[in-house]
Amino acid sequence: MSDKVNQIQKINKLLALSKSDNEQEAKLALLNATKLMSQYQITQSDLDRGMIVEGNKIILARPLQKCERFIISFCISTSHCKAIIFGNKREIQFIGRELNISVAQLMFDYIKSFIRKEGNKLNFKRTIHWNSYTLGFIQALMFKQQEEMKTWSEPDKNALVLIQNEDELEAENYINKMNVREERNKSIRTNNRLVNMGVQAGMSFNLDRQMTSGKEVLRIGDK
């Protein structure tokens, strides 16, 4: 095996680690991957991060709710893949690189499980309750993600954005060939008090801790 092939394998492993929810581990992995690519003159096209694939269909116990769409949007944005919601609203399928799909599915499970538990504690009964709380929760997660990126150096951010854009573009091209109709977002009613409660919960939510605890997670479709 050539030295370049060895380095490509190392870089691919580092790029996988760069998707970790552990900020320091992710930054260090990306930095080392970038250094190796520069040192051995390895380009993006040299790297094999896996083919674009269709994830296993996720079967829901009931039709997909609007609040769950907020979660899906965050998951595909964070993991740089795409999602298809089938006509019966009871099936979801993530499209992208295998690693990205795994991350998206895990995040969807954990975030949905957490919000369900909190909503039940707060005795949510109406759709507006769930939509408002979830919207605020996801807004908080997105804000924290953006703030975290501000701590990265420009070379680190540029390297990561290049990889992310390529992953998203290839997933988008794959879906376009499937002739899937894009659904328009519809406006929803919200309750400002519950949106703010969701924001507070999202700001204190530790996705890394939740995704490594494991025992209390409810699979999608569980009751």
Question: Do 39 and 104 belong together in one domain?
Answer: no
The CA-to-CA distance between both ends of the chain, in Å, stands at 51
Question: Do 161 and 190 belong together in one domain?
Answer: yes
Is 154 among the domain residues?
Answer: yes
Higher per-residue pLDDT: 141 or 7: 141
Kindly report whether the global pTM for this prediction surpasses the value 0.85.
Answer: no
Is 163 among the domain residues?
Answer: yes
Q: Is 84 helix (H, G, I), strand (E, B) or coil?
A: strand
Question: Do 35 and 132 belong together in one domain?
Answer: no
Our measurement of the distance from residue 6's CA atom to the centroid of its chain's CA atoms, rounded to an integer in Å, reads: 29
Residue type, 45: S
Question: Do 111 and 161 belong together in one domain?
Answer: yes
Question: Do 40 and 111 belong together in one domain?
Answer: no
Is 56 among the domain residues?
Answer: no
Question: Do 168 and 136 belong together in one domain?
Answer: yes
Structure token pair of residue 95: 């499209």
Burial 61-87 (b: 16+ CB within 10 A, else e): eeebbebbbbbbebbbebbbbbbebee
Q: Work out the percent of the chain whose per-residue pLDDT is above 70.
A: 86
Question: Do 101 and 204 belong together in one domain?
Answer: yes
> Any bridge partners for residue 93, and if so which?
84
Question: Do 27 and 70 belong together in one domain?
Answer: no
Question: Do 16 and 125 belong together in one domain?
Answer: no
* Ramachandran angles phi, psi of 7, nearest 5°: -70, -35
Tokens 């494991």 sit on residue: 214
Q: Which domain holds residue 26?
A: 1-48
Higher per-residue pLDDT: 47 or 119: 119
Is 89 among the domain residues?
Answer: no
Is 58 among the domain residues?
Answer: no
Question: Do 72 and 153 belong together in one domain?
Answer: yes
Question: Do 30 and 106 belong together in one domain?
Answer: no
Rounded Cα gap, residues 103 and 105, in angstroms: 6
- 118-153: pLDDT as tens digits: 999 999 999 999 999 999 999 999 999 889 888 887
Question: Do 35 and 75 belong together in one domain?
Answer: no
Is 171 among the domain residues?
Answer: yes
Q: Work out the percent of the chain whose per-residue pLDDT is above 90.
A: 40
Rounded Cα gap, residues 27 and 186, in angstroms: 37
Is 141 among the domain residues?
Answer: yes
Rounded Cα gap, residues 42 and 124, in angstroms: 53
Note the pLDDT of residue 221.
33
Residues in the chain: 223
Q: How many domains does one find in the chain?
A: 2
Is 38 among the domain residues?
Answer: yes
